[in-house]
Amino acid sequence: MAAVPPDPDAPAFTRRSVNLADPRLGAVAVAASDEFFAAKERLLDPAPAQFHPGRYDDHGKWMDGWETRRRRHGGHDWCVVRLARPGTLAGLDIDTSHFTGNFPPGASVDACCLPDGVDPDDGAAWFPLLGSVSLTGNSHHYFAVADARPVSHLRLNIYPDGGVARLRAWGTPAFDPRRGAVDGLVELSAALNGGTVVAANNEHFGPASVMLLPGRGVDMGDGWETRRRREPGSDWCLIALGHPGVIERIEIDTAHFKGNFPDRCSIQAARVDGGSAESLVTQAMFWPELLPEQAMTADAIHMFQTQIRPLGPVSHVRFNMIPDGGVSRLRLWGRPA
């Protein structure tokens, strides 16, 4: 089954930033004023919201999102989300997909920044991140964020009640070279460290951004997979590292890809300052090789160190699957520049 295509109307921040409200990275819905019809955890589900016409539970119609009961005594409902990692936000998506007669007509978002392991209490210093905005049913609502203050938690307020399918919070996680370091090396490509996919030539069965998630893939749908190539050439994706650095170890994981793993893989790299996605795609064709072509095998972790060529600090890589296929995870470990 083909992957759901990205929203063509989505702004650039959804492609150039990390969704810090992604539970696969560690985000959690920690509290809500009410979740009578639908649990707050569904608000963060990374999959697009689904609708099942005949599905009901003990509380009524089953909805894929967070939904509160009808308010009868004033006030408004809210949900608090702990982001996967503190960071600076670039934009939000308040998605009301499939909520038609039960969406909230208005919403706002507050934020705060707390130390690791601390969730907001009644004395938390919230500040407005997004003022009150109008919502419509069954729609994505994208809002750019201009506030540069770091945030660790969001509070989505809905006025007065209703249902929201998904909340996405796109931004740049705070980079801490001590966090997650192994033998002095940092996973510079990791989404949790700010790694993002700038472009990919094909994402028919799975988005390339999945390769930057933590852990191993849970099944064949948890990875980047292209269609079967019927013409010359090879498939590729362009990745911006979370921080420039010298790459010393590379891991390519084909977990669950057995009859459709790539025959070979290679990586090109360069240090680049600025540039549009289109210009980077063109430049990347001529970048030097960081990792020459290496044979792949099915459902296995492939580690490379001695094969890596000394290019110095790099900020972007082009990962080539030759000729096509699927890869679960790609990890580029290095020393930050």
Report the CATH number that the domain containing residue 235 is assigned in CATH: 2.60.120.260
Work out the pLDDT band at 4, boundaries 50, 70, 90: low
The per-residue pLDDT for 225 is 98
The per-residue pLDDT for 231 is 96
Same domain, 153 and 192: no
| DSSP classification of residue 42 | G
DSSP string, 230-256: -SSS-EEEEEEEEEEEEEEEEEEE-TT
Work out the pLDDT band at 2, boundaries 50, 70, 90: very low
Same domain, 204 and 320: yes
The per-residue pLDDT for 7 is 77
Work out the pLDDT band at 179, boundaries 50, 70, 90: confident
Residue 208 resides in a domain: yes
Residue 2 resides in a domain: no
Domain end point (choices 147, 173, 199)? 173
Same domain, 161 and 18: yes
Same domain, 240 and 109: no
CB 281 within 8 Å of CB 320: no
pLDDT > 90: percent of the chain: 90
Domain end point (choices 173, 205, 232)? 173
Task: Give mean pLDDT, residues 282-295.
Answer: 97
Work out the pLDDT band at 190, boundaries 50, 70, 90: very high
The per-residue pLDDT for 266 is 98
Same domain, 141 and 208: no
The per-residue pLDDT for 15 is 87
Residue 1 resides in a domain: no
Same domain, 152 and 287: no
pTM of the model: 0.92
The per-residue pLDDT for 264 is 98
Same domain, 241 and 161: no
The total number of structural domains in the chain stands at 2
Q: List the structure tokens of 259.
A: 């009859």
Task: Give mean pLDDT, residues 195-206.
Answer: 96
CB 287 within 8 Å of CB 266: no
Amino acid at the residue 169: A
pLDDT above 90 (res 103): yes
pLDDT above 70 (res 3): no
Same domain, 199 and 142: no
pLDDT above 60 (res 5): no
Contact partners, residue 117, CB within 8 Å, separation at least 6: none
Quickly tell me which residue has 């990792």 as its tokens.
291
The per-residue pLDDT for 1 is 37
Residue 4 resides in a domain: no
Residue 180 resides in a domain: no
Same domain, 238 and 157: no
Same domain, 202 and 143: no
Work out the pLDDT band at 274, boundaries 50, 70, 90: confident
The per-residue pLDDT for 6 is 66
Q: What is the mean pLDDT of the chain?
A: 95
Domain end point (choices 151, 173, 195)? 173
Task: Give mean pLDDT, residues 129-133.
Answer: 98
Residue 258 resides in a domain: yes
Residue 136 resides in a domain: yes
Task: Give mean pLDDT, residues 289-296.
Answer: 98
| Residues of the domain holding 234 | 186-336
pLDDT above 90 (res 294): yes
Same domain, 199 and 254: yes
Each residue's pLDDT tens digit, 140-176: 999 999 999 999 999 999 999 999 999 999 999 999 8
The per-residue pLDDT for 173 is 97
The per-residue pLDDT for 235 is 98
Same domain, 161 and 194: no
Each residue's pLDDT tens digit, 69-85: 999 999 999 999 999 99
CA–CA distance, 191 with 209 (Å, rounded to integer): 8
Work out the pLDDT band at 287, boundaries 50, 70, 90: very high
Residue 3 resides in a domain: no
Task: Give mean pLDDT, residues 280-299.
Answer: 97
The per-residue pLDDT for 180 is 80
Amino acid at the residue 260: N
CB 67 within 8 Å of CB 95: no
